Chain A
């Protein structure tokens, strides 16, 4: 099988051949033609810009791969500010020894996900480095994204108000559990939720829903994201344990490992805070979108304190803290 070598990163014929074979075919669009040093694209008055790097191992996991993840992560970050994602970049840092067939799969998956998410990959870069672990050569992807923001769109924690409803767009913990399960070679049916939330979020915006704040629930999990929103807004977010959707299999898996779904990472979920009177309409739109079927109202905003609390199954109340360090399995 053909592998990545130093030559592929030397900038000569091998580099050109790799770009041509792997990337141009996958990402063909008018902005990439000519392969100039930068892409020149039409713009807008207000643009959102973001960048993100993806280092996940394994490269392929149940439900996705590093390429799909890169597009979803970048697109979702744009969407959370109410931007309509338009363009993304693809910077590949390849480790020597990587199978070119794997690279093609990843580039293809990235292209497919970009199409689903409604963005164009307009420029890219390739470098080759020594592998960190020669037995498992991998790659790192950096993506930057540009989205257009309509005049009048204002989504920010400072708009969170007392009485607002907190909506979670679906089940917690799937991505984290899928990656851990795959690293630990545990056989189950848990698949990553990595997904672009374009349909869901543009659906809300197009229907004039007045979203006060919105965040994608990635690293650190819901607990950390809600704490950040609470601190940024100076409000008290109260959520209900019984309202938080977690699949049976993920609940079981996390209990076995001593992990809490509230602290587990997701790659296709968001939390939306909006006026209570808009919540019914918003829930309908979210539930009718491809990745929002299990969306739920999970909590309410109060003004009496700053922080996050959870009403437990048996009627108790506890403070929800941000995740500290990694979510580690217990040893006892």
Chain B
């Protein structure tokens, strides 16, 4: 079907109200960037799910990183967007300004060079992510083993997707399955979920055309009651996933329980370094503490039960400049993305008034 016809259909859709969840944070950002929410019918609600890795990281994990950073023998290495996630007392950027050695990198592999050049310190990577990022950490370990650097550790908060989707399914009429994750895992887990939850799933890429096609397909499937997984990202996603990445993960990691910010403990939804690689672990197991700031409704946002602007803190005490919850920190977090669209979204503006500040 032509893109214009799909868009026309979504614009004029007049059927029952639908709540469609995009699981992946990259989809949340890509959907906003495409401008799709400004086009499609108000009867189609696009809801963000639990697929932003920073957003589901518990405060206990940040606290653990901060306590490790206070030991002057340690250097903490992280991706940039973890820096401002609030712990129970402070975030990493505050710890850094107080003298902790915390550095951010674009690729975990950069840490190997740092560790090789400075044998006096232990380099600890804040290994946060889903199935997509785990193979990168496997590569980091593999390279570290090869180079013989004994001063590399990981503090992991690795999670796997399927179980969290089940926890978020209440009131949802269909899922946009996470495209990057599916590259690694294949479509099988989503076919199983579609059967289990009796809901349609569509695996989608990230370009506008693909997103429009995926939402169109979801709406059609939700209406006709189809309960299967449709792969609209076949150029990157195969049924069996990436065998190579799967093998790399299986070599170093094993499944375990994990605590999700906003959801709580989900048995078997975590990945941890195997017993024989425990010497590389900085104490990842058993991190569970989570202290939310009173009033923060990240938990409900992450599971799609409320929209970001339904949280009482949104746009008031919780802003992009001063995030209270993790969803406002990550550039793929639902609240960060929503903060530039609403309040006063374009649709409302065009109806209501002239001269209103949209920024």
CA separation between A227 and B359, bound complex, in Å? 9
B54 cross-chain contacts in A, Cβ below 8 A: 331
B263 at the A interface (CB under 8 A): no
**Which chain A residues numbered 73 to 91 have a C-beta less than 8 Å away from chain B?**
none
- Chain A residue nearest to B37 (CB atoms) is A316
Minimum Cβ distance to chain B for residue A134 (Å) = 11
Instruction: Point out the residues of chain A lying under 8 angstroms from B270, CB to CB.
Output: none
Q: Are B7 and A332 in contact (CB under 8 A)?
A: no
B34 and A328 within 8 A (CB): no
* Interface bits A239-262 vs B (CB < 8 Å: 1, else 0): 000000000000000000110100
Complex interface: stretch among A41-49, A289-297, A318-326 = A318-326
Q: How far is the CB of A167 from chain B (nearest CB, A)?
A: 22
Residues of A near B358 (CB, < 8 A) are 236, 305-307, 309, 319
Complex CA gap A120/B290 in Å reads: 61
Smallest CB-CB separation from B32: which chain A residue? A318
In residues 332-359 of chain B, which contact A (Cβ within 8 Å)? 332, 340-341, 345-346, 349, 354-359
Specify which of B25, B79, B117 is in contact with A328 (CB 8 Å cutoff): B79
In the complex, whether A168 has a CB less than 8 A from a CB of chain B is: no
Contacts of B104 in A (CB 8 A): 328
By the criterion of a CB under 8 Å from any partner CB, how many residues of chain B are at the interface? 51
Inside 8 A of A303's CB, which chain B residues have their CB?
A: 354
A contact face: mostly helix, strand, loop, or mixed: loop
The smallest beta-carbon distance between B160 and chain A, in angstroms, is 13
Contact B39 A319 (CB under 8 A): no
Determine the chain B residues whose CB is within 8 A of the CB of A308 once the complex forms.
359
Q: How far is the CA of A183 from the CA of B110 in the complex (A)?
A: 10
- CB neighbours (8 Å) of B166 from chain A are none
Q: Which residue of chain B lies nearest to A308 when distances are taken between CB atoms in the complex?
A: B359
Known: A258-B26, A305-B354, A313-B208. A332 touches B340 (CB 8 A): no
A332 to B23, CA, bound (A): 12
Given A314-B209, A324-B320, does the pair A332, B132 have CB atoms closer than 8 Å? yes
B148 at the interface (CB under 8 A from A): no
Assembly CA distance A310 to B341 (angstroms):
12
B39 touches A184 (CB 8 A): no
Complex Cα spacing A230 to B359, Å: 10
A interface, how many residues as a size bin?
35 or more
Q: Is B52 an interface residue (CB 8 A)?
A: yes
Cα A184 to Cα B107 in complex, Å, equals 8
Interface pair B346/A309, CB less than 8 Å apart? yes
Kindly identify, within residues 1 to 59 of chain B, every residue whose CB is under 8 Å from any CB belonging to chain A: 3, 7, 24-26, 32-39, 51-54
Alpha-carbon distance A77/B81, docked complex (angstroms): 31
Q: Does A29 contact B (CB under 8 A)?
A: no
Q: Which chain B residues (258-290) contact chain A, with CB distance < 8 Å?
A: none
Question: Do the beta carbons of B208 and A312 come within 8 Å of each other?
Answer: yes
Asked if A135 lies at the interface with its beta carbon under 8 angstroms from chain B, I say yes
Residues on B with beta carbons closer than 8 Å to the beta carbon of A257: 106
Q: Give A238 Cβ to nearest chain B Cβ, in Å.
A: 11
Contact with A along B292-322 (1 / 0, CB 8 A): 0000000000000000000000000000110
Contacts known (A257-B106, A306-B357, A326-B80); A332 close to B129, Cβ less than 8 A: yes
CB of A304 within 8 A of chain B? yes
A-B contact pairs, 16 of them (CB 8 A): A312-B33, A312-B35, A312-B208, A314-B3, A314-B35, A314-B209, A316-B34, A317-B38, A318-B35, A319-B340, A321-B359, A324-B321, A330-B25, A330-B81, A332-B25, A332-B133
Name A's B-contacting residues (CB within 8 A): 135, 180, 183-184, 227, 230-231, 236, 257-258, 260, 303-319, 321, 324-326, 328-332
Q: A312-B208, A331-B129 are in contact. List 16 more A-B contacts (CB 8 A).
A: A180-B106, A231-B359, A308-B359, A312-B33, A314-B36, A314-B39, A316-B35, A317-B346, A318-B32, A318-B38, A321-B359, A328-B104, A330-B26, A331-B53, A331-B128, A332-B130
